[in-house]
Amino acid sequence: MARITPVEIKQRKESGPKLTMLTAYDFSFASLIDESGIDLILVGDSLGMVVLGYDSTVPVTMEEMLHHCKAVSRAVKRAMVIGDMPFMSYQISQEDALKNASRFIKEAGCDAVKLEGGVNVARTVERLVTAGIPVMGHVGLTPQTASSLGGFKVQGKDLDDAKKIFHDAMAVAQAGAFAIVLECVPAELAGLITETLTIPTIGIGAGPRCDGQVLVTNDMLGLFDKFTPKFVKKYIDLSSEIKRAFLSYKREVEAGEFPSKKESFSGGEEAVLAIKSMKK
């Protein structure tokens, strides 16, 4: 089975149904997400917070991203796999951006890369696209530079901010991105951007009018409970389920109930008898 291509993703803006995207960081979850028919799997640099325990996405390195992208790529048959370019892997120079982006494709089996920014990264997006690397944009709240945006909060509420986000989205689309993430922007602004652009918008905290939606998998499964943004819907409370399983295991081992006969291997009695007699 071939993976979904950027051309098919773009066509979905007109044809529907809406695009679905989730993050994955390892083989098991990537398999489950792919088998569920989700269209795009993002190996997000949210990896830094939900898997590696950093306070932000800023410290995430290329090597960390590639390691997890490889695991995800090994699992995925149908979805498009997108590698998130970490902070400072595309800002220093276009050559650097090209070199790093190509590693996601050549070494890690990704189909595309995502990078954050608007007008400021448009030339870089153009360079990658010209070289044959499909690029997904990301505007609005850009977590890698959240501190200069005043923290993790909704963006584009006043006219100047809204105009900036609108122009950023236009610039990334004109530079050749095949889709764009809109993070934490008011639903009306996201609606306007969606109807203006010819490429699909994928919202996270950007309301229902985007062409698709993305969530961090660990958030929507209730696996990451350090903080929960307003836009997250928890489809299951896996933290509680998992803790319950761990407690049952501990209780059963301590009580000598696990492993039972069912989980044990039989046979070898004669060998044991022989060893016992040798010991005499």
Site string for ligand KIV, 72-101 (x = CB under 6 A): ------------x-----------------
Is residue 219 a contact point for ligand KIV (CB under 6 A)?
no
To the nearest whole angstrom, how small is the minimum distance from the Cβ of residue 216 to ligand KIV? 5
Give yes or no: 183 in active site. yes
What separation, in Å, do the N-terminal and C-terminal C-alpha atoms of the chain show? 62
**Using CB under 6 A, which of 6, 13, 19, 23 touches ligand KIV?**
23
- 90 phi/psi in degrees, rounded to 5: -140, 0
Is the bond into 6 cis (omega within 30 degrees of 0)?
A: no
Is residue 216 a contact point for ligand KIV (CB under 6 A)?
yes
**Using CB under 6 A, which of 44, 109, 200, 222 touches ligand KIV?**
44
**Using CB under 6 A, which of 6, 24, 39, 46 touches ligand KIV?**
46
Exactly one of 64, 116, 126, 183 is catalytic; which is it?
183
**Contacting range for ligand KIV; rule: CB under 6 A; set: 44-52, 89-97, 169-177, 253-261:** 44-52
What is the binding site for ligand KIV (CB under 6 A)?
23, 42, 44-46, 84, 181, 204, 214, 216
